[in-house]
Amino acid sequence: MELIFGLLFVLISLIFLVRWRYNYWRNLDVPFIAATFPFGNIKGMGKKYSQFELLKDVYDKFKHNSSPIVGLYYYLSPVIMVKDMELAKNIFTRDSVHFIDRGAYYNEKDNPISAHIFNLDNPKWKTLRTKLTPTFTSGKIKMMFYTVYDVAERFVNKLKSEVDVAVDGEIEIKEFAGRFTTDVIGSVGFGLEINSLDNPTTEFRVHGINAFEKPNHSTLINIFSVAFKDLARKLHVIQVRKDIEEFFQGIVSQTVKHREDNGIVRNDFMQLMIQLKNHGKLDGETLTVGKLTMDEITAQCFIFFAAGYETSSTAMSYLLYEFANNQQVQEKARQSVRQVLAKYDNKLTYEGIKEMDYLLMCVNESLRKYPPVHTLLRYCNKDYKVENTNCTIKKGQLVIIPAYAIQHDQEYFPNPEVYDPDRFLPEEVAKRPTCAFMPFGHGPRNCIGLRFGIVQAQIGLAMLLMNFKFETCSKTVNPIEFKKFSTIMLSPIGGINLKVSKI
């Protein structure tokens, strides 16, 4: 009898607890989507639809509601979706002290490789960010130019021989773009000749693919660990697969040992890591951060590799897809590359790259239509009153900025499904809020590799345009369909199939 009463009491309390949770947004008078236990608003996410599709639906539904935010529930956790551009700007920049963490999940103890700069919270994030920023100064990027150029030449040659053997010239171009950026980051980041262009099954490439294609857990478990970090850590949930962790631990320790034993000094990311490991500071600096451990530098190497290769290669592939669908744009971009080359003795140079205005507009327009990172995240670490509302974002709440939805908003980008590089003419850019375009995020927590990512893509694209013509073919999926399982990356199902011919 007592047992039954006890159980009944627990059950009734649970029901009240859940109802009380799911009234959170109603009580604050914030527009929201009604939730069901236990998933809240994310039932089926990762299988039936992707996170960006949910957010786009919600964004469009509440577009004309005057509230700058919409309330959602991820499981029992209230999360905030930002809808207003002014608020987004303030969260990214002016009030970024409240939102300096990303709120991603990592587990330093069971999965040290997940404790990298993309995931880390303060104060560790801040010291690391300051230390890693010198990796991408203009001087360093200029030095990387030639390395990227060499790999791009191999890329073009490889594609030429593939075109010769491919049936009707049909090629899955994302695979080759991925090998190109893998070889680039291996070289500029690690000083390693990976040559995945010729050896697609090389371990580096395979682990790189697996890091994105075969996550250790389902979307719903990944979101669970973001919503309930402490619990997930207690349950030993890991984010990065163990085989990938072990591979990177091996490769980084071998590389470090090889350099230290042979006194090899290179001007690359690995060298900065070695300095931070041995001295806790960079050469010529006075500020010391405490020496980084081998595990800590491995994690940073991993994220530079992962963030550097996948985003840039998908960005290039989406643009080639739009070139295939818009032949005049492709021809105009080719002309703009040709003109700049002519000016520089028919050589591709670092200076020349920066003058290819039309190509840059094409790159940005494809980053708009297909942001490789479709959803941006911030985590509130200090209560924040939202202007013009009665709502305070509480410490510990997750803030979502739906990049894909905003970049497809008619108000900022009329006929958003139309690919039109002229949207990036200076006078057009001036007409909309800066934050409406956010492929690299904004503010102190934006993409650290922004400029390098663009330069790398541009070199590859300029060389491709000079050597090939891209067209759609029977295998081209139009419009592109996207994978559903990935929580933040926008990735095409089956890659991007195009007809490629030499010119």
Ligand X SMILES: *[C@@H]1O[C@H](CO)[C@@H](O)[C@H](O)[C@H]1NC(C)=O
Binding site for ligand HEM (CB under 6 A): 102, 117-118, 129, 303-304, 307-308, 311-312, 315, 372-373, 376, 439-442, 445-449, 452-453, 457
Of 323, 315, 310, 313, nearest in space to 465 by CA: 323
Nearer to ligand HEM (CB atom), residue 104 or residue 256 = 104
Which residue's beta carbon is nearest to the bound ligand HEM?
441
Choose the one of ligand X, ligand HEM, none that binds residue 448, judging by a C-beta under 5 to 8 angstroms depending on kind: ligand HEM
Q: Are 480 and 321 in contact (CB under 8 A)?
A: yes
Choose the one of ligand HEM, ligand X, none that binds residue 362, judging by a C-beta under 5 to 8 angstroms depending on kind: none
Which of the 8 DSSP states describes residue 93? I
Nearer to ligand HEM (CB atom), residue 35 or residue 87 = 87
Nearer to ligand X (CB atom), residue 221 or residue 488 = 221
Where along the sequence are the contacts to ligand X (CB under 6 A)? 29, 216, 236-238, 241-242, 360-361, 364, 388-390, 424, 440
Nearer to ligand X (CB atom), residue 287 or residue 425 = 425
CB of 454 to ligand X, least distance (A): 7
CB of 453 to ligand X, least distance (A): 9
Tokens of 37: 């236990």
Choose the one of ligand HEM, ligand X, none that binds residue 372, judging by a C-beta under 5 to 8 angstroms depending on kind: ligand HEM
Pairing of β 398-401 and β 77-82: parallel
CB burial of 210-244 (b: ≥16 within 10 Å; e: otherwise) equals bbbeebbbebbebbbbbbbbeebbeeebbbbbeeb
- The Cα 102–Cα 282 span in angstroms is 26
Of 185, 462, 223, 414, nearest in space to 303 by CA: 185
Q: Are 483 and 372 in contact (CB under 8 A)?
A: no
Choose the one of ligand HEM, ligand X, none that binds residue 360, judging by a C-beta under 5 to 8 angstroms depending on kind: ligand X
Nearby residues of 201 by Cβ (< 8 Å), 6 or more positions away: none
Nearer to ligand X (CB atom), residue 326 or residue 389 = 389
CB of 12 to ligand X, least distance (A): 31
Choose the one of ligand HEM, ligand X, none that binds residue 117, judging by a C-beta under 5 to 8 angstroms depending on kind: ligand HEM
Nearer to ligand X (CB atom), residue 19 or residue 242 = 242
Tokens of 56: 């786009």
CB of 436 to ligand X, least distance (A): 11
Tokens of 405: 């939805």
Tokens of 330: 């492709």
